[in-house]
Amino acid sequence: MRLPAVFQRRVRLLSVVLLLCIASTAEAAPSWNVGYRTIALQDAVTGESFPLALWYPTAAAPAPLFVTSSLSLCRLPAIVCRRIAFEMPVAQNAPVAAGAFGVIVVSHGGGGMALLHRDLAMALAVQGYVVAAPTHPRGKGDDRSGVEVWVGRPKQVSRVIDAVLEDGDLGGHIERDRIGMVGHSNGGYTALAVAGARPSPGAAGAHCREHPDDARFCGSGGAAAREAARKVGSLPELRDPRVRSIVLMAPNAAPFTDDALARVTVPALVYAAEKDDLTRVPYHAERVAKTLPWAECVLVKGAGHFSFVTSFPTALKIVAGEGARDPKGFDRDAFHQVMNREIVGFFNRTLRTGGNPLTKNAQPRPCRSR
C-alpha cells in the first residue's frame, strides 16, 4: 500500500533533518575540562626569569582556583580570594587529555600580566588548544619601550614555544604545524613582529610627526618609544615561522612601516575598539588590516582600548584603574563571550591542515562594525 504523498514528503524531510543532526554532531569539536599550571623561563635578552601560565585540555574535574597577579595562589578564605585574586574553574596540575592539540601563545599589553586574557585561554583549552601566556619581563622600560620590548618580547614568544614543545607532559601532544598567537596592544606589536613584520626604530617617530592628532600615543608610550629607538639602533629579524595564524587586539602598529606589515603572510584577525584613544583605529588596527595581505577586521562599537582584557575581581578594579574601565554603556563580559567564540573559530579555520580560508586583500578594506 502506497503511503499518502504528503506523508512521504514528511518522512523524507525528517530523514534529511536527522542526517544533518548526525553530521553536525560528528563534526562538532569535542570539549574538555581545563588543566592549569605554571613554569618559569629565562629571557634570552636580559637573563631575567619570567613566569608562564599554561592552560590545556584535561579529563580531570575542575575546581575553583584563586591566583594572584604574580601567579601565586591565594591561600585566604574563598570569600576573600574571590575579591582580591583571579578565579578560574580549572584542574591544577592535572594530566593532559589524550589527543593532539594546537598551541596558542597569548601576549599581554605593556605592563600587564599572564592572566589578563584568562577567559580566552580557557575557551581555547576547552576546544582543544594548549594556551601559553607569559608575564613579559618589565625590564628598564617597564615593559613599554626599549630593547626589552622591541627585541625581548618576540624572542620571549619563541622561547615560550620552545618550552611547550620541549615540555615532558605537553610536548608529545602538540601538533607542531598548528601554532597561533594572540596579542593585545604591545602584545599586538609582538605578534606582528613574530609573524614577520620587521620593526623600524624610526617608524614611531615618523608616525608622530605625520599624525600629531594621535596625541595620547605620541605623548606617552610613543615618546618613550622614540627615545628608546635612538638607543636601540637597527633591529634584528624576529620572525618565528612556526606561528601560522595571529589575532590582534588594538595593536600598536607604530613601529612598523607599511612595507614591513606587507611582509606578514599568515592570516590575521584584527580587532579595533571604536573609542580607543591610545592606539587609535585609523593609525593602528585599521591600518594593519588594510596593509596585511591576509586579514579580516572587526570594529567593536563602544569598546575602549582595555575592553579586550578580561574583567577584574572587585578589589583589583581599583588597582587596575583604567584597565578595568570601559566606555559608558559597554558590556565587557557580554562582548568577551562573543569574541572568544570568534577567536576559537578563527583558529579552527586557519590552523587546520590545508587551512587559511581568508581571501587575499586585493585592495584595502575597512573594518566591519559590530
- pLDDT tens-place string over residues 188-231: 999 999 999 999 878 888 898 899 889 898 887 555 555 666 66
For residues 300-314, one letter each, b for 16 or more C-beta atoms within 10 angstroms of the residue's C-beta and e for the rest, the string is beebbbbbbbbbbbe
Do 134 and 112 contact (CB within 8 A), yes or no?
Answer: no
Gap between the Cα atoms of 130 and 103, Å rounded:
5
- Would you state the cell numbers that stand for residue 198, as one nine-digit string? 620587521
Region of residue 121 (phi > 0: left; psi between -120 and 50: alpha; otherwise: beta): alpha
- Name residue 73's amino acid: L
- What per-residue confidence (pLDDT) applies to 232? 65
pLDDT value at position 343?
98
What 3-state class would DSSP assign to 20?
helix
> What length is written for the chain?
370
Res. 124: pLDDT tops 80: yes
C-alpha–C-alpha distance, residues 269 and 248, integer Å: 6
Question: Sorting pLDDT into bands at 50, 70 and 90, what band is 132?
Answer: very high
Domains and CATH numbers, the chain: 37-369 (3.40.50.1820)
Strands (E), the chain: 33-42, 49-58, 63-67, 86-92, 101-107, 129-134, 174-184, 245-249, 268-273, 295-300, 368-369
Q: Model-level pTM?
A: 0.89
Does residue 264 or residue 145 have the better pLDDT? 264
pLDDT on residue 3: 46
CA distance 225 to 204: 7
Give pLDDT, residue 116.
98
Q: Order of strands across the sheet with 295-300?
A: 63-67, 86-92, 33-42, 49-58, 129-134, 101-107, 174-184, 245-249, 268-273, 295-300, 368-369
3-class SS of residue 72:
coil
